[in-house]
Every structure is written in C-alpha cells, then in structure tokens.
Amino acid sequence: MIIFALSATAAPRKLTDNAPSGTQNTFREGCPFSQEFITANEYLRSQKDFGIPEPEARKLATQAAGGCIGAAKRFIRVTSMLTHAGLLPKDAVQSGLQFAARTEAETEAFITVFHRAFHKAYLDLDINSALKMAHSLSTQFEGNVAAARDDFATIVEFCAHEDGLDLPRPACGEMGARIARLGQNFGGGISNHFLNAFDFLRSKKGPALPTGAALKQAEELVGMGLVSVENFIQAFRYAASKSGLQMDNAAAMTFAKEMAQKAYRKID
C-alpha cells in the first residue's frame, strides 16, 4: 500500500483561520484533508477483496477524510479489524467511516472492547454480540470512554481469570460491560471501587457474604457513586463494632447501605 506524506510545512495539525468578512467570533478548523483522503483511498485500492470500484472508493475516502486529523488511521484500523474478524467488507467499511468521524478515545475504546469480547483468548463471543458490547462502551457511552475501556478490561480480567472468580467468559463480558456503564454517571474509573467493595463484602472483617451475594451488593454500591463504597465500609465497621453500635451483620449491612445512600447531596 502506498502512503503519501505531507511536507514538513504541511504537517497534520489543527489550524484556525479568521472567518470570512462580515462574521464575528467564528473560526474554521484547518485539517490535512488531502493527506487523509490519499491515505484512505490508497488503503481501499489495496484491498482487492473488497471489490470496491474506483469511483466509489474515492467517495468513501472523501467521506473518511471529513473526520479531520487522524481520520484515515481510525478508518483503516476499524475496517481492518472487523474484516479480519469476518465481517462483510461493506459493513466493515461503514463501521470504519463511523469511527473516522469519532474521537481517538472512542475508537480506542471500541477496538479494545471488541478485541476482548471477540478474541478466543478472552470472551470468545460471536461477532454481533462483540459489536454490540463494543458500541455500548464507545459510541453509546456518555462519559469518559477511556475510563470505561479500562474498567471493562479490569473487571473481565478479574472475573475470567483462574486467580479471580474463574466464571464463564460470556458472563464475565456481560458483568464487565454492565459495571463499566455505571461509570458514565460518575466520570468512570469505577472498577477499583467495585473490587474494593467485593473484597470487603467477602472478608471476615466485613459481612463475609457468599461470592454471588457479594458481587450483587458490590455492584449496587458502586451504582450509588464512587464515594459510596468508602462510606459503606466505614459505616459497617462502626455499626458492627463493640465500641460502636454493636449490631449483628444483617443490621450493620442495612445501616451501612443507608449511610452510603446519603453520601451524595444535591447542589443548587
């Protein structure tokens, strides 16, 4: 595949030009459109198995280049990954175009989640299920997609690994995606809070719950917010302590959850 490079004076970077005369406070963002078009077009021309006629390839390359800086790379990465996974070229190209217009963070999240969902070494899901999961944590995620990507990977590793829960892979994928999506309400970074909650709920220094119950309660706690876990642990220890409220485990659990629910307040 031939890749044409811009000269040093035209290196890809964001540029802003003054708007046409007669407008106020309006700027246009400059893009290396020609470079993006050339890269995307040469990629499509090199993929003989796609069977895309030259005129159509140019239209697709033009559409991909509209995503501005890095668009061709995003287009190629997603299209290549999905065709190698077995998706029809026309469908893979359409997905590639979608991510050409998306951010780098969204593209990275989509690629990471799809890879872990589809690859036999990880969750080994069918391609449609893997696509659905990947979109749920990228294009359909309203929050920090980079944090969601990392949360998903952390939970899946913990769930599926033999040193963790060692649960069936499809179940781990569903749990990882579900917990990662909770982070969109709190800016992401939720996986460590979930694991801290689970460890405490299973611990003899905590309620000592069975694994299934601990997973359910930990997910409920992180759904309340990132500081809810810390509040729950502190409240439970106080409630169950001989120098505190001297409650049994069940009563201490109820009290601690009530405290955790009050950990957030509305700000006018």
User: 266 versus 206: which is more confidently predicted?
Assistant: 206
Q: Among 151, 204, 253, which Cα is nearest to 261's?
A: 253
CB-based contact 91:116 (threshold 8 Å): no
Residue at token pair 């893009």: 31
- In tens, the pLDDT along 203-222 reads 999 999 999 999 999 999 99
How much is the average pLDDT of 223-231? 91
Mean pLDDT of 85-106: 97
3-state secondary structure the chain: CCCCCCCHHHCCCCEEEECCCCCCCCEEEECCHHHHHHHHHHHHHHCHHHCCCHHHHHHHHHHHHCCCCCHHHHHHHHHHHHHHHCCCHHHHHHHHHHHHCCCHHHHHHHHHHHHHHHCCCCCCCCHHHHHHHHHHCCCCCCCCHHHHHHHHHHHHHHHHCCCCCCCCHHHHHHHHHHHHHHHHHCCCCCHHHHHHHHHHHHCCCCCCCCHHHHHHHHHHHHHHCCCHHHHHHHHHHHHHCCCCCCCCHHHHHHHHHHHHHCCCCCCC
Least confident range of 12-16, 133-137, 181-185? 12-16
Q: What is the pLDDT of residue 29?
A: 62
At residue 143, the pLDDT reads: 86
- Mean pLDDT for the stretch of residues 242-253: 95
pLDDT bucket at 67, cuts 50 / 70 / 90:
very high
Residues 128-149, mean pLDDT to the nearest whole number:
93
Section 164-177 average pLDDT: 91
Mean pLDDT in residue range 102-117: 95
Question: Looking at residues 240-257, what average pLDDT do you find?
Answer: 95
Residue 265: its pLDDT value, please? Answer: 59
The pLDDT of 223-236, averaged and rounded, is 93
pTM above 0.75, yes or no: yes
| 2-34 pLDDT tens trace | 444 443 333 443 434 443 444 444 444 678 999
Angle 130-189-145 from CA coordinates, rounded to 5°? 45
- Nearest alpha-carbon partner for 182 in 124, 248, 136, 213: 136
Which residues contact residue 14 at a Cβ distance below 8 angstroms, ignoring those fewer than 6 apart? 29, 30, 31, 69
State what percent of residues in the chain have pLDDT above 90: 75
Residue, of 11 and 152, whose pLDDT is higher = 152
Write down how long the chain is: 268
Compute the mean pLDDT over every residue in the chain, rounded to the nearest whole number: 88
